[in-house]
Structure 1
Amino acid sequence: MSSLDDEKAIQLVQLQARVGANSDDDVLSGYFDDAIQAVLDFTGQSQPNKALLIAAKRLAVVYWNQQADEGETQRTEGGVSRTFEVTGIPSSIRSSLMPYRVAKTRSLR
Protein backbone atom coordinates (compact mmCIF):
# COMPACT_ATOMS: atom_id res chain seq x y z
CA MET A 1 0.00 0.00 0.00
CA SER A 2 1.42 3.39 -0.99
CA SER A 3 1.51 6.42 1.28
CA LEU A 4 -1.25 7.95 -0.87
CA ASP A 5 -3.46 4.92 -0.22
CA ASP A 6 -2.60 5.15 3.48
CA GLU A 7 -3.53 8.84 3.58
CA LYS A 8 -6.78 8.16 1.72
CA ALA A 9 -7.65 5.41 4.24
CA ILE A 10 -6.87 7.76 7.15
CA GLN A 11 -9.08 10.50 5.70
CA LEU A 12 -11.91 8.00 5.09
CA VAL A 13 -11.77 6.79 8.72
CA GLN A 14 -11.86 10.41 9.92
CA LEU A 15 -14.80 11.08 7.59
CA GLN A 16 -16.68 8.06 8.96
CA ALA A 17 -16.10 9.28 12.52
CA ARG A 18 -17.24 12.81 11.63
CA VAL A 19 -20.59 11.74 10.17
CA GLY A 20 -21.11 8.76 12.49
CA ALA A 21 -21.08 6.12 9.76
CA ASN A 22 -19.74 2.61 10.19
CA SER A 23 -16.69 1.37 8.32
CA ASP A 24 -18.67 -0.74 5.86
CA ASP A 25 -20.88 2.11 4.66
CA ASP A 26 -20.49 1.98 0.87
CA VAL A 27 -22.54 5.16 0.38
CA LEU A 28 -20.06 7.28 2.34
CA SER A 29 -17.11 5.64 0.60
CA GLY A 30 -18.78 6.41 -2.73
CA TYR A 31 -19.29 10.06 -1.72
CA PHE A 32 -15.61 10.26 -0.77
CA ASP A 33 -14.54 8.82 -4.14
CA ASP A 34 -16.89 11.25 -5.93
CA ALA A 35 -15.50 14.14 -3.91
CA ILE A 36 -11.91 13.16 -4.74
CA GLN A 37 -12.77 13.11 -8.44
CA ALA A 38 -14.53 16.49 -8.21
CA VAL A 39 -11.48 17.98 -6.47
CA LEU A 40 -9.10 16.52 -9.09
CA ASP A 41 -11.31 17.79 -11.92
CA PHE A 42 -11.45 21.28 -10.40
CA THR A 43 -7.71 21.52 -9.80
CA GLY A 44 -6.54 19.75 -12.95
CA GLN A 45 -4.32 17.48 -10.87
CA SER A 46 -3.93 13.81 -11.77
CA GLN A 47 -3.21 12.51 -8.25
CA PRO A 48 -4.45 13.85 -4.91
CA ASN A 49 -2.05 15.02 -2.23
CA LYS A 50 -2.87 15.31 1.49
CA ALA A 51 -4.38 18.80 1.15
CA LEU A 52 -6.62 17.69 -1.73
CA LEU A 53 -7.76 14.63 0.24
CA ILE A 54 -8.69 16.87 3.17
CA ALA A 55 -10.70 19.12 0.84
CA ALA A 56 -12.35 16.02 -0.63
CA LYS A 57 -13.24 14.88 2.88
CA ARG A 58 -14.92 18.23 3.53
CA LEU A 59 -16.80 17.95 0.22
CA ALA A 60 -17.90 14.39 1.05
CA VAL A 61 -19.43 15.74 4.29
CA VAL A 62 -21.41 18.22 2.18
CA TYR A 63 -22.57 15.38 -0.10
CA TRP A 64 -23.52 13.29 2.96
CA ASN A 65 -25.49 16.13 4.55
CA GLN A 66 -27.38 16.82 1.32
CA GLN A 67 -28.68 13.25 0.92
CA ALA A 68 -32.26 14.07 1.93
CA ASP A 69 -32.16 17.41 0.11
CA GLU A 70 -31.03 16.07 -3.26
CA GLY A 71 -32.61 18.00 -6.13
CA GLU A 72 -33.95 20.82 -3.96
CA THR A 73 -32.89 24.41 -4.42
CA GLN A 74 -35.01 25.96 -1.70
CA ARG A 75 -37.31 24.81 1.13
CA THR A 76 -39.47 26.50 3.74
CA GLU A 77 -40.51 24.64 6.88
CA GLY A 78 -42.08 26.13 9.96
CA GLY A 79 -41.36 29.66 8.78
CA VAL A 80 -37.67 28.88 8.23
CA SER A 81 -36.48 29.28 4.66
CA ARG A 82 -33.41 27.40 3.50
CA THR A 83 -31.57 27.81 0.19
CA PHE A 84 -29.19 25.15 -1.11
CA GLU A 85 -26.07 25.74 -3.18
CA VAL A 86 -26.66 23.63 -6.27
CA THR A 87 -23.55 24.16 -8.34
CA GLY A 88 -20.58 21.93 -7.68
CA ILE A 89 -18.05 22.62 -4.97
CA PRO A 90 -19.05 25.14 -2.27
CA SER A 91 -17.05 28.38 -2.32
CA SER A 92 -15.48 27.72 1.10
CA ILE A 93 -13.90 24.51 -0.21
CA ARG A 94 -13.17 25.96 -3.66
CA SER A 95 -11.10 28.77 -2.13
CA SER A 96 -8.88 26.24 -0.35
CA LEU A 97 -8.31 24.44 -3.66
CA MET A 98 -7.28 27.52 -5.66
CA PRO A 99 -3.53 27.25 -4.85
CA TYR A 100 -3.53 23.69 -6.27
CA ARG A 101 -5.07 24.50 -9.65
CA VAL A 102 -2.88 23.69 -12.62
CA ALA A 103 -2.57 26.52 -15.10
CA LYS A 104 -3.22 25.74 -18.76
CA THR A 105 -1.30 27.48 -21.50
CA ARG A 106 -3.00 28.74 -24.62
CA SER A 107 -1.70 30.17 -27.87
CA LEU A 108 -2.32 33.83 -28.71
CA ARG A 109 -3.64 33.31 -32.24
Structure 2
Amino acid sequence: MEQLERLKIKLGISLEDVTQDELLNLYLEDSKDTMLELTHLKELPTSLNSSQIDLAIVYYNKQGIEGQTSHSEGGISRSFEEDIPKDIMKKIRSARRLPR
Protein backbone atom coordinates (compact mmCIF):
# COMPACT_ATOMS: atom_id res chain seq x y z
CA MET A 1 0.00 0.00 0.00
CA GLU A 2 1.40 3.39 -0.94
CA GLN A 3 1.68 6.43 1.30
CA LEU A 4 -1.27 8.28 -0.26
CA GLU A 5 -3.57 5.31 0.37
CA ARG A 6 -2.39 5.01 3.98
CA LEU A 7 -2.93 8.74 4.53
CA LYS A 8 -6.44 8.61 3.09
CA ILE A 9 -7.36 5.65 5.32
CA LYS A 10 -6.08 7.43 8.44
CA LEU A 11 -8.02 10.57 7.51
CA GLY A 12 -11.18 8.58 6.80
CA ILE A 13 -11.19 9.52 3.11
CA SER A 14 -12.47 6.91 0.69
CA LEU A 15 -9.76 5.47 -1.56
CA GLU A 16 -12.05 6.10 -4.53
CA ASP A 17 -12.32 9.82 -3.67
CA VAL A 18 -9.59 11.52 -5.70
CA THR A 19 -10.75 15.11 -5.14
CA GLN A 20 -8.06 15.78 -2.51
CA ASP A 21 -5.24 13.69 -3.93
CA GLU A 22 -3.17 16.67 -5.11
CA LEU A 23 -3.42 18.37 -1.72
CA LEU A 24 -2.64 15.15 0.16
CA ASN A 25 0.37 14.48 -2.05
CA LEU A 26 1.63 18.00 -1.33
CA TYR A 27 1.36 17.36 2.42
CA LEU A 28 3.22 14.06 1.98
CA GLU A 29 5.97 15.86 0.03
CA ASP A 30 6.15 18.67 2.59
CA SER A 31 6.40 16.22 5.47
CA LYS A 32 9.10 14.25 3.64
CA ASP A 33 11.08 17.44 2.93
CA THR A 34 10.83 18.49 6.57
CA MET A 35 11.97 15.09 7.77
CA LEU A 36 14.90 14.93 5.34
CA GLU A 37 16.01 18.37 6.45
CA LEU A 38 15.85 17.38 10.11
CA THR A 39 17.62 14.05 9.64
CA HIS A 40 20.26 15.24 7.14
CA LEU A 41 19.48 12.20 4.98
CA LYS A 42 19.10 12.03 1.20
CA GLU A 43 16.33 9.41 1.27
CA LEU A 44 13.64 8.78 3.84
CA PRO A 45 14.13 5.38 5.49
CA THR A 46 11.11 3.06 5.50
CA SER A 47 11.20 3.18 9.30
CA LEU A 48 9.89 6.77 9.03
CA ASN A 49 7.01 6.05 6.63
CA SER A 50 4.42 6.13 9.41
CA SER A 51 5.92 9.34 10.79
CA GLN A 52 5.68 10.92 7.34
CA ILE A 53 1.96 10.12 7.29
CA ASP A 54 1.48 11.37 10.85
CA LEU A 55 3.20 14.66 10.01
CA ALA A 56 1.13 15.00 6.83
CA ILE A 57 -1.99 14.59 9.00
CA VAL A 58 -0.76 17.40 11.26
CA TYR A 59 -0.33 19.62 8.19
CA TYR A 60 -3.74 18.60 6.81
CA ASN A 61 -5.49 19.36 10.09
CA LYS A 62 -3.87 22.79 10.30
CA GLN A 63 -5.00 23.92 6.85
CA GLY A 64 -6.81 27.23 7.07
CA ILE A 65 -5.80 27.77 10.70
CA GLU A 66 -2.03 28.01 10.39
CA GLY A 67 -0.39 29.79 13.28
CA GLN A 68 -3.42 29.54 15.56
CA THR A 69 -2.37 28.88 19.14
CA SER A 70 -5.78 28.79 20.80
CA HIS A 71 -9.45 29.15 19.99
CA SER A 72 -12.59 29.04 22.11
CA GLU A 73 -16.10 28.83 20.77
CA GLY A 74 -19.30 27.46 22.24
CA GLY A 75 -17.55 25.89 25.22
CA ILE A 76 -14.99 24.15 23.02
CA SER A 77 -11.39 25.22 23.40
CA ARG A 78 -8.67 24.33 20.90
CA SER A 79 -4.96 24.98 20.83
CA PHE A 80 -2.33 23.72 18.44
CA GLU A 81 1.34 22.97 18.72
CA GLU A 82 3.45 25.29 16.66
CA ASP A 83 6.17 22.71 16.15
CA ILE A 84 6.18 19.08 15.18
CA PRO A 85 4.46 17.01 17.91
CA LYS A 86 6.92 15.44 20.35
CA ASP A 87 6.05 11.83 19.53
CA ILE A 88 6.72 12.37 15.82
CA MET A 89 9.89 14.38 16.53
CA LYS A 90 11.23 11.56 18.71
CA LYS A 91 10.98 9.12 15.78
CA ILE A 92 12.60 11.62 13.41
CA ARG A 93 15.48 12.20 15.80
CA SER A 94 16.13 8.46 16.00
CA ALA A 95 17.05 8.50 12.28
CA ARG A 96 19.04 11.74 12.44
CA ARG A 97 22.59 11.84 11.13
CA LEU A 98 25.25 14.47 11.52
CA PRO A 99 25.24 17.07 8.74
CA ARG A 100 27.98 16.76 6.14
1:11 matches 2:3: yes
Residues 82/40 of structure 1: CA separation in 2 closer, same or farther (3 Å cut): same
- Partner of residue 98, structure 1: 93
1:33 matches 2:60: no
- Once the two structures are superposed, the pairs formed by residues 1-109 of structure 1 within 5 Å of their partners are 10-19=2-11, 20=13, 22-23=17-18, 25-87=21-83, 89-104=84-99
- Which of 1 and 2 has greater Rg? 1
CA distance in 1, matches of 2:89, 2:65: 21
CA distance in 1, matches of 2:66, 2:99: 33
The TM-score with structure 1 as length reference comes to: 0.76
Unaligned runs of 5+ in 1: 1-8
| Aligned sequence identity (%) | 31
CA distance in 1, matches of 2:99, 2:9: 38
Structure with greater proportional helix content: 1
Number of residue equivalences = 96
Q: Detail structure 1 runs of 4+ shifted over 6 Å in the superposition.
A: none
Amino acid at match of 1:103: L
Amino acid at match of 1:18: K
The TM-score with structure 2 as length reference comes to: 0.82
CA distance in 1, matches of 2:32, 2:99: 21
